[in-house]
Amino acid sequence: MKIKLAQEDIQSSLIRKIERVSGEVLKMCYQCGNCSGGCPVSYDMEITPSQVMRFLQLGRVEEVANANSMWLCVGCLQCYSRCPKGVSVAAVLEAMRQMTLRKGTDHDRIKDIPFPFLKKAPQQAIVCGFRKFVS
């Protein structure tokens, strides 16, 4: 006999896993917008940091996972330093990125990176990039 989990139960378990991996409590965010205001890359994100937190509070994990926000976050912790509640959106996005990579889903494929770029790029940049984008 198969037990079907309701969509709400699945979303709830994903939220708990994101909170466990990131160490953040999503409901602490009260949507002041300081994180988005200080984020150096929010202009290019499909979902801004404050919207990420709200989407996750509402259980809309797939929308956040399908957006480019977790891949663009540079982890500068500007969101954390500006947050009156001490919530780090960067930690949440890093947790989501790690959860995606642990499934074996790469954001970038190594073979798609042009060889001239690999030859000229600093080794540290290549290692950091592979750690962030490749499982």
In angstroms, rounded to a whole number, what is the distance separating the alpha carbons of residues 135 and 130?
8
Residue 7: enclosing H or E segment and its boundaries? Answer: helix 7-22
**Pick from 82, 98, 91: nearest CA to 25:** 91
58-77 average pLDDT score = 92
Confidence category of residue 115, pLDDT binned at 50, 70, 90: confident
Going from the N-terminus, what domains does the chain have, and what CATH number goes with each?
7-103 (1.10.1060.10), 108-135 (no CATH)
Contact 32, 51 (CB under 8 A): no
What percentage of the chain reaches a pLDDT higher than 90? 58
What is the average per-residue pLDDT within 50-64?
95
Length of the chain: 135
Contact 73, 100 (CB under 8 A): no
- Could you tell me which of 31, 37, 22 has the C-alpha nearest to residue 88? 22
Average pLDDT (57-69) is: 93
Cβ-based neighbour number of residue 124 at 10 Å:
8
Instruction: Specify the pLDDT at position 67.
Output: 94
Q: What integer pLDDT is reported at residue 95 of this predicted model?
A: 94
For residue 69, CA distances in Å to 2, 9, 74 come to 35, 25, 10
Mean pLDDT, rounded, for 78-82: 95
Taking alpha carbons only, the member of 109, 107, 20, 7 closest to residue 62 is 7
Residue type, 6: A
Residue 76 in this model has a pLDDT that exceeds 70: yes
Calculate the average pLDDT of the chain.
85
Indicate the pLDDT class of residue 131, thresholds 50, 70 and 90: low
As a whole number, mean pLDDT of residues 13-19 equals 92
Q: Which residue has the higher pLDDT, 40 or 133?
A: 40
